């Protein structure tokens, strides 16, 4: 209760339209804590002890404990049998924004002092960035920092590996990220939008009776940039996370090997766009609402892959195959049917590429800075129809679709070769 995971959980279920379908159990402590008066007061112990809980939100060191170091829980050494990490902030990298808040009366009376704190934090973040980058040659200083961090954050200097895990699951956005977040330039995941999102969800689940106003400091950001090493005048250049060629090859191999469970395994969210027979264009004006939803989910899950899949209806191929089975005169040969499947797959790839191009155009028109390497177009063809076979006109139409599939890849980051 009142911890960082409340808006995380609310966002997750609100995006999937299930916020009202979830029963939340709020506990007073964030991480493992001794029983208070015989009562369980933290989510980790609650998950270990209660079979009535379907899932738990926890900090990453506790998540690793519950899942036998991030694999599948064996039931021993504090893990919960069968448990696994479904999602972390490595994937949902824009779901929680850690910000510093100060009372308005104090801010009004001490604005200069608060600004000094902000500047010192930005300098410290740059120093941390350099230390991590060069930690092999600064091991002593790095270990000292991790030891002190463990002491401050976790109560003991011995928990350095846990402190490193916390650090690894955070993204420090620096000066440029602060400018973007608080001014709203280049991102929809900003101070104003998160305020609206969080308060709307908290009112829905009964945690807030009414909205409240939280003010931004409205700093002189050009002035704050003075003396900072990594502050840039432009914030619209996004460094790519993924090697697109390698990622495309891996995804294509996965689709072939896992055709039966590809759509379920690791899928976080799905946005579908339907199209007419022989349609080849997907204009921004026509699909703006779908693009807006896909952008919102993709921005929130900035560490995920967004697979833009082109799907076709299999009815024509199914009829051709049935004609062969029935021995119908003039039936197509096996080679001809194979060519039909390949043409459909090529056409579905062209459609997904067109959707990707126009989606990126939509983002650019909105002034949103996104990582284009996060979005990968693939042609599925008739491999995974929604209805097989389609029995109505509606099912036939539903099979013709382009799908934005937001995929959690944190368990396979090494395989996907993210660009560092």
Instruction: Say if residue 330 is in the same domain as residue 400.
Output: yes
Instruction: Say if residue 283 is in the same domain as residue 378.
Output: yes
Residue 234, pLDDT score = 59
Distance, CA of 74 to CA of 30 (rounded, Å): 23
Instruction: Say if residue 407 is in the same domain as residue 258.
Output: yes
Contacts of 242 (CB under 8 A, 6+ apart): 305, 371, 373, 374, 376, 416, 417, 418, 419
Helices (H), ranges, 83-138: 104-109, 111-133
- Among the listed residues 83, 419, 80, 400, the one whose alpha carbon sits nearest the alpha carbon of residue 243: 419
Q: Which of 67, 96, 125 is the last residue of a domain?
A: 96
Q: Does residue 50 sit within a domain?
A: yes
Residue 420, pLDDT score = 47
Instruction: Say if residue 412 is in the same domain as residue 292.
Output: yes
Q: Does residue 230 sit within a domain?
A: no
What pLDDT digit, counting tens, does each position of 356-368 carry? Answer: 999 999 999 999 9
Q: Does residue 238 sit within a domain?
A: no
DSSP 229: S
Predicted TM-score (pTM) of the model is 0.83
Q: Does residue 353 sit within a domain?
A: yes
Q: Say what the alpha-carbon torsion angle 352, 95, 156, 159 is, to the nearest 10 degrees.
A: -10
Host domain of residue 341: 244-416
Instruction: Say if residue 322 is in the same domain as residue 212.
Output: no
Range 297-300 contact pairs with CB under 8 angstroms and sequence separation of 24 or more: 297/15, 297/268, 297/269, 297/271, 297/404, 297/406, 298/370, 298/374, 298/375, 298/404, 298/406, 299/94, 299/187, 299/188, 299/189, 299/368, 299/370, 300/11, 300/15, 300/92, 300/94, 300/95, 300/189
Instruction: Say if residue 220 is in the same domain as residue 319.
Output: no
Q: Does residue 239 sit within a domain?
A: no
Instruction: Say if residue 197 is in the same domain as residue 78.
Output: no
Instruction: Say if residue 87 is in the same domain as residue 108.
Output: no
**CATH number (domain holding residue 376):** 3.30.1330.60
Q: Which of 43, 77, 96 is the last residue of a domain?
A: 96
- Hunting for tokens 């440029």 — which residue is that? 176
Instruction: Say if residue 122 is in the same domain as residue 265.
Output: no
Instruction: Say if residue 255 is in the same domain as residue 400.
Output: yes
Q: Tell me the average confidence (pLDDT) per consecutive run of 10 residues in the chain, 420 residues long.
A: 88 88 91 83 94 92 94 95 90 89 96 96 94 92 94 90 82 90 93 94 91 94 92 72 86 80 84 87 92 93 92 84 86 86 89 95 94 93 85 88 86 51
Q: At what angle do helices 191-204 and 5-15 cross, to 10 degrees?
A: 80
Q: Does residue 140 sit within a domain?
A: no
Q: Does residue 143 sit within a domain?
A: no
Instruction: Say if residue 190 is in the same domain as residue 114.
Output: yes
Q: Which of 191, 224, 257 is the last residue of a domain?
A: 224
Q: Does residue 66 sit within a domain?
A: yes
Contacts of 353 (CB under 8 A, 6+ apart): 310, 377
Domain tally for the chain? 3
**Residues written for the chain:** 420
Instruction: Say if residue 29 is in the same domain as residue 70.
Output: yes
Contacts of 381 (CB under 8 A, 6+ apart): 310, 311, 312, 341, 342, 344, 345, 347, 348
Residue 415, pLDDT score = 53
Residue 381, pLDDT score = 86
């Amino acid at each position: 209760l009142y911890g960082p995971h409340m808006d995380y959980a609310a966002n997750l279920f609100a995006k999937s339209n299930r916020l009202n379908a979830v029963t939340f159990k709020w506990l007073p402590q964030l991480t493992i804590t001794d029983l208070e008066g015989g009562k369980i007061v933290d989510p980790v112990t609650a998950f270990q002890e209660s079979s009535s809980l379907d899932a738990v939100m926890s900090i990453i060191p506790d998540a690793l404990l519950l899942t036998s170091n991030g694999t599948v829980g064996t039931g021993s050494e504090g893990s919960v049998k069968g448990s696994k990490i479904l999602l972390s902030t490595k994937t949902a990298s824009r779901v929680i924004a850690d910000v510093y808040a100060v009372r308005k009366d104090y801010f009004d009376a001490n604005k200069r002092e608060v600004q000094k704190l902000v500047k010192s934090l930005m300098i410290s973040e740059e120093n941390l960035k350099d230390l991590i980058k060069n930690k092999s040659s600064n091991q002593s200083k790095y270990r000292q920092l991790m030891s002190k961090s463990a002491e401050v954050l976790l109560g003991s200097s011995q928990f350095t590996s846990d402190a490193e895990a916390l650090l690894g699951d955070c993204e420090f956005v620096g000066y440029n990220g602060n400018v973007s977040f608080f001014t709203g330039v280049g991102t929809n995941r900003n101070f104003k939008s998160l305020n609206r999102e969080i308060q709307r969800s908290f009112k829905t689940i009964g945690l807030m009776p009414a909205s409240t106003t939280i003010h931004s400091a409205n700093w002189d950001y050009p002035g704050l940039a003075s003396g900072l090493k990594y502050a840039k005048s432009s914030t619209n250049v996004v460094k790519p996370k993924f090697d697109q060629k390698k990622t495309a090859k891996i995804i294509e191999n996965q689709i072939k090997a896992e055709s039966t469970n590809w759509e379920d395994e690791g899928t976080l969210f799905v946005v579908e766009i339907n199209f007419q027979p022989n349609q080849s264009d997907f204009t921004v004006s026509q699909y703006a609402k779908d693009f807006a939803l896909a952008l919102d989910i993709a921005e929130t899950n900035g560490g995920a892959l967004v697979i833009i899949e082109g799907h076709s209806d299999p009815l024509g191929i199914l009829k051709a195959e049935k004609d062969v089975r029935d021995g119908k005169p003039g039936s197509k040969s096996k080679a001809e049917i194979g060519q039909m499947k390949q043409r459909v797959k090529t056409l579905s790839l062209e459609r997904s590429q067109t959707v990707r191009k126009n989606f990126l155009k939509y983002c650019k028109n909105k002034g949103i800075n996104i990582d284009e390497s996060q979005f990968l177009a693939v042609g599925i063809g008739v491999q995974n129809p929604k209805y097989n076979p389609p029995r109505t006109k509606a099912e036939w139409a539903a099979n013709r679709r382009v799908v934005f599939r937001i995929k959690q890849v944190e368990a396979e980051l090494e395989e996907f070769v993210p660009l560092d």
